[in-house]
Structures are given as structure tokens and as C-alpha cells.
Structure 1
């Protein structure tokens, strides 16, 4: 492929995912990913600092989507309702991405280093949500608890979604997980 072929990031992501599934994360190199994508290793490093970040490249954009959506919810919304609205909005980012998300999650679950990286990203997301809730006037510990609960709902709903056939949307699983949390806290 030529140097200026379009969608280098997408090709690198797919090549990495394929190689991780075929050979394992540990056994795959950045050079192999680049070669599979029809690009140079230098191009790989222009897009990603290391081979882990291919799997987490969208984390910043996802965090920004969470924060922006939460900030835009009506000020009168209760904190948990604001989080619920945010989850609903963010779920739209995953439409048509079930198979990729399923494959990505399988690679992450199979590697302790990647599981740790995923937890760090989720902790960062929780902190960003808590800070956004504080800017909305929610005091601590309510802001931190609500943010952590929102991330727990997202994590559980996401895991259930990637483990499913993909016929139902992520939003469906997020709603169910949130309903389960609300039932638990209501003592039902």
C-alpha cells in the first residue's frame, strides 16, 4: 500500500486486533502490526506510542463524550438521572461496533497488563465524571459515589453487551444494569 493510503489508524487497529487474536498480545510487535496494515513501523508510531494504545486509542474521545454529555444534561436533573442520560448518549458511540468491541474485549481479558490499563482508563473516566458533577453543584461524597456507580453500570452493561449476540444495543444493557442498581439501592 502507498504511504498516503486513507484510514491508517483504522487499518492499524484492525491489524493489531487480528494479530493479537492470532498470536497473542505479548507475541505481537508494532512492526508486525504495521506490516499487516500495509504501513511502515514509523507510521505506526506516528499514530500510537506503543502497541497497547492501539486498543485504547479512543479512550480520550470517549471520556470527552461522557464529560460533555454530563455537562449538557439539565441542571435540575438528579445526579443519578444525569448519569443515566449520559450513559444513554454515550451508548450511541458503540452502534455498529459490537463485533470490534467483542474482539477487543477478548484480547484485553486475556492479558493482565491490558486489564490493568483498562481499569486505569475507567478510573480516569470516573474522576472526570466526579469533577463534572462537582461543577454541576453536586457535593462530595455524592459526586464521587454517583460517578463510580455510573462507571460500574457502564462496565457491567458493556461486559454483558460484548458477551451477547449483538442483537440488542449497548443502551439496552446499560438501562438494565442501571435498573438493577436502582432496585438494589431501593432495597427491592
Structure 2
């Protein structure tokens, strides 16, 4: 890969996923990731703290986008409508390239306990950001927390379906469908 190619962050993510899938997480070094991306180790560390974090790129951006979606939703929106607006905002930021490596990313994360744990922290962070945004819009607990948890679960389920190439629907449409299904399941618990 030529050094002048744009988007070094995405190149590093792509290289890391490829190497982790080929030779395993433990057997892959930062130097190998940087070399595969056609970049230096210094460039890697400008973007990521360690090789684990390369798999969770964008978490802060996703938290911000979820909060923005809630903040810009119409007045009078229900908690689930606020969550749907947040999902629309965050899923719109995803590009086709992320779809192409999404399934491999999920497989790599699932194959290593340290990565599974980090993924759980990512989910908790997203739910905390979404819950805080809902509270800021006047949604009280426990509804804010439950709606945030449903939203994050819908986000992850939608990402799984989208990255598996399920149908031609957009990530946003799949995430909203998952939110509807989770809401229906929660209602059926009565």
C-alpha cells in the first residue's frame, strides 16, 4: 500500500483486521499492522494507544453522534423515537468499506477474551452516552437507561446484519428494525 494513500486511520484498521484474522490477535504486532498499512509505527501510535484499540476505532465519535441524534430530534418525541433518531445519526456515518470488513471484525473480537471484554466496555460507554442524552431531553430513569440499552443493542444487532450482507437495506434501516423488534420483545414480557 502506497504511503501517500489517504485515510491512514482506516488503513490501519483494515490492516489490523486482516492480520488478526490471518495469524491471530496475540501473534500480531503493531509493527506488522503499520507495515501492512504502509505506515510507520509512529503513525500507528498517533491514531491508537495500542493494537486492541484499533478494533474499536470511532467509539468516541459514535457516542457524540448518538447524543447529537437525540438532541436534534423533534420536540415531543417519545424515548424510543429519540433513540431511533440517534440510530439514524450514528448509522449514517458508516461507509461501505466498514460493511466489507465488519463480519471479520466481529469474528476477531469474538475470538479473544480481552477483545470481548473491551467490546463490553464499548457497549457500556455507548449506552452511557445515549442515556445521558436522553436524560438531557427530559427522559427520566429507568426509562432513559432502558431505552439507551435497547438502542445500543439495536445498533449492534443492526451492524451484524448489515456487515453480514443481509439484504440491501441500509445499516440505519436494519438498526431501526432491530429497535422495533427489541421493543416488541420487551412489551411481550408483561
Q: Same fold (TM over 0.5)?
A: yes
Partners of 2:159 and 2:27 lie apart in 1 by: 27
1:60 is aligned to 60
1:168 CA drift (Å) = 2.7
Partners of 1:48 and 1:104 lie apart in 2 by: 17
> TM-score normalized by structure 2?
0.88
1:114 CA drift (Å) = 0.9
Partners of 1:20 and 1:72 lie apart in 2 by: 38
CA spacing shift, 1:176–1:31, aligned 2, 3 Å: same
Cα RMSD between the aligned structures? 2.1
1:64 CA drift (Å) = 0.7
Unaligned runs of 5+ in 1: none
1:91 is aligned to 91
Deviations 1:13-61 (A, max 9, x none): 2211111111111110001111222222222212211001111121111
1:32 is aligned to 32
4+ runs of 1 displaced by more than 6 Å?
1-4
> TM-score normalized by structure 1?
0.89
Cα contact 1:73–1:85 (8 A) shared by 2? yes
What secondary structure does 1:74 align onto? coil
Cα contact 2:83–2:151 (8 A) shared by 1? yes
Partners of 2:81 and 2:74 lie apart in 1 by: 10
